[in-house]
Structure 1
Amino acid sequence: MTIVYVLAVLAVLVPLLVVPVLASRWMSAVATGRTAERFRVALAGLTAAFGRVGAAVVVLLAGCAAVVAVCWPVGEAISRLEPHVDHPVFDYVHAHRVGFWEDVNLFISPIGDRYPLKWVTVVAAIGFAIAWRRRRWWIPLVAMPLQFVVEQYTQTILAKVVDRGHPPTDLGTYPSGGCGRVLMTFGTILVLAALTWRLPRRVLIGLVTALAVLVSVEGYTRIYAEKHWLTDVFGGWFFGTLLTGVMVLAVLVADGRVRRPAAPAPTGTVDDDRMLTGT
């Protein structure tokens, strides 16, 4: 039983200690990396061709397709771990359930259910639309409901194509929708908050860390409440992270917040051109 409590502590401590370091490095990489610059060039081309809204739609659709393409083989691969990893973990948890700890987990786990997150989505959409009333108020009004729908249908597609089954106690399957929904909903809220107010870097990293802790705890409760296999939760974290990144990028493109690519360096001097042309 001690292992169950130790894992609960780790579910909080690991993201609390690791995410701030990763977030700091990630932010620097996004600002200065070559890959980020290539993305800026591509997004600038899309925006020039289709406008901000059209480019955001292309990013969202292409991103969702990419998430499915990546997470599909991942789901097939981890499905093979079910008899070797998922069953032993499930059996251990089932044999060591304790009444009060079960009640705690059953209380926390519904945070990732669709019903409560529907209300979070509605309140956030209206709240940010009011806060954005002097700018593109329609972006949060569209983005919040859209993230809910995108997560639901993308997760459903993956569940159908992988079709790995579910634990004997619940219908949860790959990838964990609870983890994905928490990431998508609060991740979209976080980016809208960052676009609404000038949040200091430390505050922004703190909010990202808090979200990571929440998602980690949600995954733990899904396992303890016997709603998902262990690998479903890992898949949900991976799936939710990718899909949230796609949604965040689409919002940034729609609001025109993507940094413009650097101007290309000149390929030669005037004298060089004259020598080449013979003038």
Structure 2
Amino acid sequence: MALDATAVTLLALGVLIGLAVLADRVAGGALASVPGALRDTGIVAVLVLAAGVVFTLVATDEALEDADAPVLGWVLGVRTPGLTSAAEGISLIGGTVGTGGLAVVSAVVLFARGHRRTALIWVLGVLAGALAIRLVKVAVERPRPPVALRLAEETTASLPSGHALMAALGLTLTAAAVVALTVGTPRARLVRRVVVVLAVLGALLVGASRVYLGVHWTTDVLAGWFLGAALATTCITLARVLDARARLGDAPDPVPGLPADRPDTSHPVE
């Protein structure tokens, strides 16, 4: 299993680096010229490597007793009917279909407002996230916590937490879409702060609910957050870099962090 986990990590990192290089070539070297793009690419690499560390730990010690068992034991001691109902509700609403679907809905809105490239990247990002969940689960094949401790029924492998991955990915992309659509409005800064806080809080609650329900180890959730955040950052950076290229061709498509030069960006022409 150690070889499989390492291979998955290296493959994911290679794909993400390949996307960055491809985006840079398509954009005519715009990666270095777009503010923050190189930094964000570095963040993606760090997140993927962090997930790789989790994979390696899991592969060398399947139970990860020092990291996971104490947290699960603490959770068992604080369970109450009220918290259980709340965790079940959060887990249901924050499932892969719910958070991934929210990102797709935001992509539809972006497309309708003229942000066609960004919308396409958002949809492809969600599909990549869904595929990553399946591939990593199959590659690592980590068992879930004991059935007797679970408050929900699950049949797939444990690592990574699909809920955590898609929550980090879907909520981040949704927040980025809201930011893009409010660029230039009087309360753009306030909206940005609010949606970022909501996205982070939502992802944290979804991941925590999976540990509380006993269907995931804590490290499963951490790996999911790392991979989801890496994919979201990749999508946003790719959209910004491609937008830089579009500007050179006089076809702006505003994306998060890179406002359009023209005052009216509600219906940009591609």
Fold conserved between structures, TM > 0.5: yes
Q: C-alpha separation between the residues in 2 aligned to 1:172 and 1:205? A: 36
Percent identity, aligned pairs only?
Answer: 21
1:124 maps to 106
Give the TM-score normalised by the residue count of structure 1: 0.62
CA distance 1:67–1:46, change in 2 (3 Å)? farther
Query: Alpha carbons of 1:172 and 1:113: their partners in 2 closer, same or farther (altered >3 Å)?
Result: farther
Given candidates 219, 229, 248, the residue that maps to 1:231 is: 219
**CA distances 1:119-147 after superposition (whole Å, capped 9, x unpaired):** 42443222221122xxxx42244233212
Are 2:141 and 1:163 aligned? yes
CA contact (8 A) 2:48 2:230 kept: no
Task: Tell me the TM-score normalized by structure 2.
Answer: 0.63
CA distance in 2, matches of 1:167, 1:250: 37
Match of 1:192 in 2: 177
| Ranges in structure 2 where 5+ consecutive residues have no aligned partner | 1-19, 31-42, 148-153, 245-254, 259-270
Q: Which residue of 1 aligns with 2:120?
A: 142
Structure 1 portions without partners, runs of 5+: 1-39, 51-62, 260-279
1:178 positional shift: 0.9
Give, as a single letter, the amino acid of the residue that structure 2 aligns with 1:196: L
CA contact (8 A) 1:183 1:240 kept: yes
CA distance in 2, matches of 1:74, 1:101: 28
Q: Deviations over 1:136-169 (max 9, x none)?
A: x422442332121111112333333333222223
Q: Contact between 2:44 and 2:233, CA under 8 Å: does it hold in 1? A: no
Structure 2 Cα separation of the partners of residues 107 and 69 of structure 1: 32
3-state DSSP of counterpart to 1:84: coil
Between 221-230 and 114-123, report the one with greater CA deviation: 114-123
Which amino acid in 1 is paired with 2:56? E
Task: Pick the structure with more helix per residue.
Answer: 1
Deviation at 1:206, TM superposition (A): 3.0
Q: Equivalent residue for 1:48?
A: 28
Tell me which residue corresponds to 2:55: 75
Cα distance in 1 for partners of 2:103, 2:173 equals 10
Alpha carbons 1:64, 1:243 under 8 Å: kept: yes
Structure 1 residues 185 and 103 mapped into 2: Cα distance closer, same or farther (>3 Å)?
same
Contact persistence 1:178–1:218 (CA under 8 A): yes
Query: CA 1:100 to 1:190, structure 2 compared with 1: closer, same or farther past 3 Å?
Result: closer
The one-letter code of the counterpart of 2:96 is R
Check 1:65–1:213 CA distance in 2 against 1; reply closer, same or farther (3 A cut): closer
Count of residue pairs the alignment pairs up:
207
Could you say which structure has the greater relative contact order, defined with CA pairs below 8 angstroms and 6 or more residues apart? 1
Distance, in Å, in 1 between the alignment partners of 2:22 and 2:238 is 13
Matched to 2:235, the amino acid is M
What is the alpha-carbon distance in structure 1 between the residues aligned to residue 135 and residue 74 of structure 2?
Answer: 31
* Alpha-carbon distance between aligned partners in 2 of 1:88 and 1:99, rounded to the nearest angstrom: 21
Which residue, 173, 183, 191 being the options, matches 1:203? 191
1:173 matched residue in structure 2? 158
Q: Go from structure 1 to structure 2 and tell me whether the alpha carbon gap of 1:126 and 1:97 turns closer, same or farther (over 3 Å shift).
A: same
CA distance in 2, matches of 1:168, 1:196: 45
Out of 206, 210, 217, the position equivalent to 1:222 is: 210
- 1:212-257 deviation digits (Å, cap 9, x = unpaired): 1111111211111112111212222222222211111112123226
Counterparts in 2 of 1:215 and 1:172: CA distance versus 1, 3 Å: farther
Alignment-mate amino acid for residue 142 of structure 1: L
Instruction: Choose which of 81, 86, 104 in structure 2 pairs with 1:99.
Output: 81
Task: Tell me if the contact between 1:172 and 1:228 (Cα under 8 Å) persists in the aligned partners.
Answer: no
- When the two chains are superposed, the root-mean-square deviation of aligned CA atoms in Å is 3.6
